[in-house]
């Protein structure tokens, strides 16, 4: 297992008592489509962790791979004037993870977190486990609980 995926698995065990079944794919899971093809699931089951910022604050949004993030909706949900996708260095500073491998929890610091409400209609989702090539399955309700995430309408309509 890649060192960063191992670090995520250890953090999940230490912080939450969760032993994630991390799977790694040589072909990578960098996009939701790639991940779904590698796993053999629907694109909607890919739980992508995205960091947004208003220039001063950062938040995490866990969205379905089948949806495009609506930053106006995200800003409204967070009570911000606006939101943009965070730069790679901001993502790493806020979460401790690099873009493409950001898990939905086990971040470097506490972040307000929103969860794409469409994920809650699924029985199982797959989320990044510390690297762009590692994912783990989880019940979306459990994911929301561990991430302390608020369900929200964050997808473009």
Lowest mean pLDDT among 25-34, 77-86, 91-100, 112-121: 25-34
Q: pLDDT-derived band of residue 32, with 50, 70 and 90 as boundaries?
A: confident
For residue 157, is it within any domain? Answer: no
- pLDDT of 29 strictly over 80: no
Average pLDDT, the chain: 94
When divided into structural domains, the chain yields a total of: 1
Q: Is residue 122 very low, low, confident or very high in pLDDT (cuts 50, 70, 90)?
A: very high
What is the rounded distance in angstroms from the CA atom of residue 11 to the CA atom of residue 104? 12
User: What percent of the chain has pLDDT above 90?
Assistant: 88
Nearest to 137 by CA among 145, 146, 128: 128
Q: What angle do CA 44, 49, 55 make, to 5 degrees?
A: 135
Residue 22 lies in a domain: yes
CATH of the domain at 59: 3.90.960.10
Burial class (CB in 10 A: 0-12, 13-18, 19+), 92: middle
Residue 123 pLDDT more than 90?
yes
pLDDT digits (tens, 9 = 90+) for 59-107: 999 999 999 999 999 999 999 999 999 999 999 999 999 998 999 999 9
Residue 113, domain member (yes or no) = yes
Domain that holds residue 25: 3-152
């Amino acid at each position: 297992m890649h060192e960063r995926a191992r670090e995520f698995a250890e953090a999940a065990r230490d912080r939450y008592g969760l032993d994630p079944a991390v799977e790694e794919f040589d072909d990578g899971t960098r996009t939701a489509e790639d991940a779904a093809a590698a796993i053999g699931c629907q694109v909607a089951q890919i739980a992508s962790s995205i960091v947004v910022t208003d220039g001063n604050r950062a938040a995490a949004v866990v969205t379905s791979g089948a949806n495009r993030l609506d930053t106006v909706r995200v800003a409204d949900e967070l009570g911000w004037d606006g939101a943009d996708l965070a730069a790679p260095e901001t993502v790493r500073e806020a979460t401790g993870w690099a873009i493409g491998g950001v898990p939905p929890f086990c971040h470097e610091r506490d972040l307000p977190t929103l969860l794409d409400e469409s994920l809650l209609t699924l029985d199982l989702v797959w989320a990044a486990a510390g690297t762009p090539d590692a994912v783990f399955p989880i019940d979306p309700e459990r994911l929301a609980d561990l991430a302390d995430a608020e369900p929200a309408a964050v997808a473009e309509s």
